[in-house]
Amino acid sequence: MPLRCSMPREGGPITRCWLTAACALTLAIDAAAQEVTFRFQHVVSPHSAIPKHVIDPWAGKIEKETDGRIEVEIYPFMQLGGTAPEQYDPIVDGAIDGGSVIPG
């Protein structure tokens, strides 16, 4: 079952990053019906606006639409290690499955 996204077609780099992650998860869902844990790390407080209004609803939608086959574990404050500029390498190496940083 493909994920549906209600985001606008236009957007900046952050929007494109989220859409890319959603597409990757859709492929993972179609490729394997087994249960998977998706580890997602970000740099901000779990109580800030981005996790509250974007990351947490996104994770909940993934879990709901996959009937729990994909569980999203969220790690705020870079709990799995590294700094924001270093987050790319752990994703590529498979140490974590996804992440979000605020460029600046």
Burial class (CB in 10 A: 0-12, 13-18, 19+), 28: middle
Quote the pLDDT of residue 7: 47
Task: Answer whether 44's CB lies under 8 Å from 51's CB.
Answer: yes
pLDDT digits (tens, 9 = 90+) for 58-89: 999 999 999 999 999 999 999 988 888 888 88
**3-state class (DSSP) for residue 56:** helix
Q: Can you tell me the mean pLDDT for 88-104?
A: 83
pLDDT digits (tens, 9 = 90+) for 15-39: 666 666 766 666 655 555 678 999 9
Whether residue 99 has pLDDT greater than 50? yes
Distance CA 31, CA 57 (A): 24
